[in-house]
C-alpha cells in the first residue's frame, strides 16, 4: 500500500514516468491493474474510488495506490478525521463532535482513542518529519497534553511543508507522511519522512 496524490491523472502520469517507488525496496513501480472499488465518506458528497494498483520491478510485490484524502482502513476522509482531532484538543467531547460532523458517536470516539493511544508515536514521527522539511526548525513547544503535543507536531510539520512546497490542504499531507497508517490499529512503523 502506498499513499499517493488524490488526482488520478497525476498518479497515472507519475506511474508511467517511473516516478513512484516501492515502499519496501525503493525500486520503480509500474502499472498493475486496479484495486477493489471503495467509497470514501467525504464532506459534501461521498467519493467512489477505484485505486490504481502497481507492481514493483525490483521485489515484484504489488501495492494499492490509495489517494491521500483517506487513511488506510478508514471509511472517512482524513480532513474530517483531522477536524475531529482538532476539535477534541480544543476541548470538545466526542458526542458533540460527532453531532457537528453528522457521524456516529462511536466512529468519532474510535478515532480519538486511536489517536490518543498513538500520540507519542505520532508526535515523534511528525517531529522528525518537520525537521527533515525544515532543518532550521526551533524546538516544538509543549502544548499541554500528550494528544495536544502530537497535534502540535502535525501542525508544525504542515507549516514546514507549506513553507517548502507552497499552500496545500494539511490533512492529506499528514496522510501521506504517515503512510496512511496515522490511526492504524496494530501500529506498523511509520515510513521515513517523504
Name the residues that contact Zn ion, by CB under 5 A.
22, 24-25, 27, 56, 58-59
Element (H, E) at 137: none
Q: Which is nearer to Zn ion, 58 or 99 (CB)?
A: 58
The least CB distance from residue 65 to Zn ion, in Å, is 14
List of residues 6+ apart from 8 with CB closer than 8 A: 52, 67
Q: Which is nearer to Zn ion, 90 or 189 (CB)?
A: 189
Q: Which is nearer to Zn ion, 13 or 59 (CB)?
A: 59
DSSP 98: H
Alpha-carbon distances of 66 from 51, 53, 179, 181, rounded to whole Å: 6, 9, 10, 12
Element (H, E) at 39: strand 38-40
The least CB distance from residue 20 to Zn ion, in Å, is 11
The least CB distance from residue 159 to Zn ion, in Å, is 33
Q: Which is nearer to Zn ion, 40 or 56 (CB)?
A: 56
The least CB distance from residue 110 to Zn ion, in Å, is 32
Residue among 88, 146, 141 at smallest CA distance from 118: 146
Amino acid at each position: 500500500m502506498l499513499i499517493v496524490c488524490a488526482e488520478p491523472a497525476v498518479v497515472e502520469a507519475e506511474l508511467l514516468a517511473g516516478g513512484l517507488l516501492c515502499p519496501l525496496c525503493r525500486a520503480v513501480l509500474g502499472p498493475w491493474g486496479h484495486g477493489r472499488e471503495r467509497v470514501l465518506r467525504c464532506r459534501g458528497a461521498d467519493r467512489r474510488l477505484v485505486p490504481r494498483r502497481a507492481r514493483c520491478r525490483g521485489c515484484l510485490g504489488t501495492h494499492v495506490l490509495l489517494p491521500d484524502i483517506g487513511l488506510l482502513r478508514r471509511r472517512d476522509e482524513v480532513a474530517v478525521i483531522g477536524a475531529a482531532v482538532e476539535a477534541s484538543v480544543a476541548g470538545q467531547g466526542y458526542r458533540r463532535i460527532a453531532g457537528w460532523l453528522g457521524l456516529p458517536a462511536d466512529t468519532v470516539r474510535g478515532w480519538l482513542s486511536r489517536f490518543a493511544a498513538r500520540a507519542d508515536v505520532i508526535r515523534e514521527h511528525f517531529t522528525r518529519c518537520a525537521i527533515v522539511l525544515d532543518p532550521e526548525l526551533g524546538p516544538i513547544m509543549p502544548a499541554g497534553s500528550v494528544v495536544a503535543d502530537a497535534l502540535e507536531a502535525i501542525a508544525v510539520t504542515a507549516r514546514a511543508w507549506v513553507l517548502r512546497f507552497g499552500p496545500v490542504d494539511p490533512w492529506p499531507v499528514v496522510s501521506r507522511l504517515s503512510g496512511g497508517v496515522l490511526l492504524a490499529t496494530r501500529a506498523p512503523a511509520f515510513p521515513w519522512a517523504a
